[in-house]
Chains A and B, each alone.
Chain A
């Protein structure tokens, strides 16, 4: 197993692989082993030791981390400054940032708080031809050049190995409350959003998800008066029990949808993309069910 500690070491490893035509299985915390199909590669490259916060500028709400940094470390670092990178991905926080982005794993709050593609400002990666790509930047708005960042996020490592990422952070809401909510009336309506349409919820962080004991789990984040008013509105519309935010950990762990890598769409355009960035099929070959 190759365990590089810097982007340069990843670059050297990939260039050697390109030279020798040797395929690599790329892993972060090695938690997504069977997410797609088996990888056909003689060697594994682990990013688990390429870790650390490279820079954190709280006043800019941006952060740069090495790909092997865990979500837990990201969370701890930002929490200290009242911020977060609200990836809140399916699974748990032991996974790495790099893998979360590479697999575009979102979570229950994707619609409200953004998906990995929305939270990634830029990244560094080594593609399957040995190119060191430095895409995007650390500013929150950027349209300079073609968008390599979006191409690499969610590509499951098959176009390039993400080694470092620039993330957009958000302020944590002043109050972050989680409620179990059972609307008045018989049974749960099929669309929780519709049921809540009459309830004026603060928009900063509002998401609904899943059924637990015949209740909708609901997270409301805003300033204190807004959360209190939302709570009052919910009280008027049904039964409300306030829970610890840890309730979401269970949801994230147990309600993950099946991996999209299982039924990858290999249309001509996608094949051409793979051809241009990994013509020798050296990165995670077979993972996305492609023909050898």
Chain B
């Protein structure tokens, strides 16, 4: 037992400090398949006071750490390589809900869907809805600037956080807001910083009124291209759907074989899940317009669901699609890239071609309305040849997305997984500026070291910038 472990035990109690290797095995991974790293120790504070005391103890010890919510992230952001893992899942109190101001103040470990459930009695909900919403935490959502299907209309996490109390890696506790009353948008800089800037102690988030009515449509297509075209046309027509999601045949097959079978037509090349919500007046017009646009683009059929049960079933399949792919092959690469919406149709064909060239099966399930692609590849990691092909295919897909004017991640974050692509997306000077921004919050780089920006980008440019 190290001196640090003893100190931490004194703060959070012995059952909430894990240091035996066997006890740490369960904390080697988050939801990113195929990546495992072993922390040196795990500490799980149960109160905000304990959290601050733990971060201060780590600061006094000069120990780097990785904050972790529910470990549902898909970029390896919550993996700790031989350093301390700071588990925030015990901090799950909803501190206040203010229905008049439409805000909630929560601890970082509150589960996204739990907040929505608690707000439901006031006719409100928390709008960002990542597919992992039944398990992921608000703290993790803030760290990753999480998105979700309904972000098309309602915006991502950034647009829904009002303020946050944050403990910086130095142990300093600061209040961050948008700077509306005269100040830098420190909150905006913090949201999406992937645990590299500090740890949320509590946050106030915006709640959104439940729409008066919701209509969900499922259009099925015999060509993926037609579904992509329908997407562009819907957006261009001036309709603002609450969500617009595309699933291809491989994904439909995986979902329909799972416990979350949603009744998607198995023989369709793609289905488009569209939703409109708002006051009931005029909503049916929007739904009809979407149906019309889908049919014009070549939809074989359009199913319209208005009752809650049927809508939930249609959505269930979409939200659990990623997990459902677990049944296709033992391992899975989950990808996340964004391209301009108009490039979708071409890009999907290129992705299929890349997959075919490498003899791989690519399952696409994504936020079409945002151009946010998720090409996933089930494979067997024990097959070195297949693993190598997966790796090459992913590199090619990412290069195509960047070339199309896109980006390497729309919602999963860079973490460890996307580190290698950062230098092809950003200039050296921009990466250096990112390092400078991190240094504002964590000059010692003790919070989630080695993530987001490749270390060498900082070192090189630190030297030149200082010399200037």
The short answer to whether A and B are in direct contact, CB under 8 Å, is yes
Known: A173-B238, A269-B174. A139 touches B278 (CB 8 A): no
Whether a CB of chain B sits under 8 angstroms from the CB of A117 is yes
Query: Are A142 and B410 in contact (CB-based, < 8 A)?
Result: yes
Q: In the complex the two chains form, what is the Cα distance from A204 to B277 in whole Å?
A: 10
Contact partners of A60 in chain B: CB under 8 A: 340-342, 371
Residue B82 interfacial (CB < 8 Å) = no
Within 225-245 of B, Cβ neighbours of A (below 8 Å) are at 232, 235-240
- Chain A residues 109 to 145 lying within 8 A of chain B, measured CB to CB, are 114-115, 117-118, 127, 129-135, 137-145
A132 and B285 within 8 A (CB): no
* Best-buried of B184, B189, B411 by chain A (most CB within 10 Å): B184
Give Cα A263–Cα B183 distance, bound, in whole angstroms: 8
Cβ-based interface call for A181 (8 A): no
Q: A171-B240, A226-B281 are in contact. Are A146 and B189 (CB under 8 A)?
A: yes
B191 adjacent to A222 (CB under 8 Å): no
Complex: chain B residue closest to A132, CB-CB = B429
Report the separation of the CA atoms of residues A65 and B57 in the bound assembly, to the nearest whole angstrom.
Answer: 48
Render A218-233 as a binary contact track against B, CB cut-off 8 A, 1 for contact.
Answer: 0000111111011000
| Among candidates A117, A170, A203, residue contacting B185 with C-beta atoms closer than 8 Å | A117
Kindly identify, within residues 45 to 86 of chain A, every residue whose CB is under 8 Å from any CB belonging to chain B: 57-62, 82
Asked whether A148 lies within 8 Å of B433 as measured between CB atoms, the reply is yes
When C-beta atoms are compared, the residue in chain A nearest to B404 turns out to be: A139
Q: Is B179 an interface residue (CB 8 A)?
A: yes
Partner of B211, one of A114, A203, A261: A203
Give the chain B neighbours of A265 by CB distance below 8 A.
179, 181-183
Annotate A247-284 by CB proximity to B: 1 below 8 A, 0 otherwise.
00000000000001111110111101100110000000
B440 interface neighbour in A143, A224, A264, A273, Cβ under 8 Å: A273
- Tell me, yes or no, whether A104 is within 8 Å of chain B by CB: yes
Q: Check B181 against A260 for contact (C-beta < 8 Å).
A: yes
Name which residue of chain B comes closest to A36, CB basis.
Answer: B182
Distance from B248 Cβ to chain A, minimum over Cβ atoms (Å): 20
Question: Among A131, A143, A172, A267, which residue has its beta carbon within 8 angstroms of that of B238?
Answer: A172
**What A residues does B279 contact at CB under 8 A?**
200-203, 226, 229-230
Interface residue ranges of A154-186 to B (CB < 8 Å): 154-155, 159, 170-174
Residue of B172, B183, B338 with most partner-chain A CB within 10 A: B183
How distant is the Cα of A170 from the Cα of B212 in the complex, in angstroms? 23
- Near A by CB (< 8 A), chain B positions 131-160 give 144-145, 147, 151, 155-156, 158-159
* Known A141-B411, A147-B192, A147-B193: A200·B281 in contact at CB below 8 Å: yes
Pick the residue among A142, A146, A226, A270 that contacts B437 (CB under 8 A).
Answer: A146
Taking the closest CB of chain B, its distance from the CB of A69, in whole angstroms, is 20
Which residues of A have CB within 8 Å of B238?
A: 82, 171-174
A209 to B282: give the CA distance in the assembly, Å: 24
Could you tell me the distance between the alpha carbons of A198 and B438 in the complex, rounded to whole angstroms?
A: 46
Q: Which residues of A contact B28 (CB under 8 A)?
A: none
**CB of B157, distance to nearest CB on chain A (Å):** 9
Q: Does B6 contact A (CB under 8 A)?
A: no
Extra contacts, 19 of them, besides A141-B370, A147-B192 (Cβ < 8 A), are: A59-B342, A130-B468, A131-B430, A135-B430, A139-B340, A143-B144, A143-B147, A143-B412, A144-B409, A145-B414, A146-B189, A151-B184, A154-B184, A202-B278, A202-B282, A203-B211, A223-B285, A226-B281, A273-B189
Q: Which residues of A contact B (CB under 8 A)?
A: 18, 57-62, 82, 104, 114-115, 117-118, 127, 129-135, 137-148, 150-151, 153-155, 159, 170-174, 200-204, 222-227, 229-230, 260-265, 267-270, 272-273, 276-277, 288
Between A and B, 16 residue pairs with Cβ closer than 8 Å are: A118-B155, A130-B468, A131-B429, A137-B406, A139-B407, A141-B151, A144-B409, A144-B414, A148-B189, A151-B437, A154-B178, A155-B185, A225-B282, A229-B279, A230-B279, A260-B183
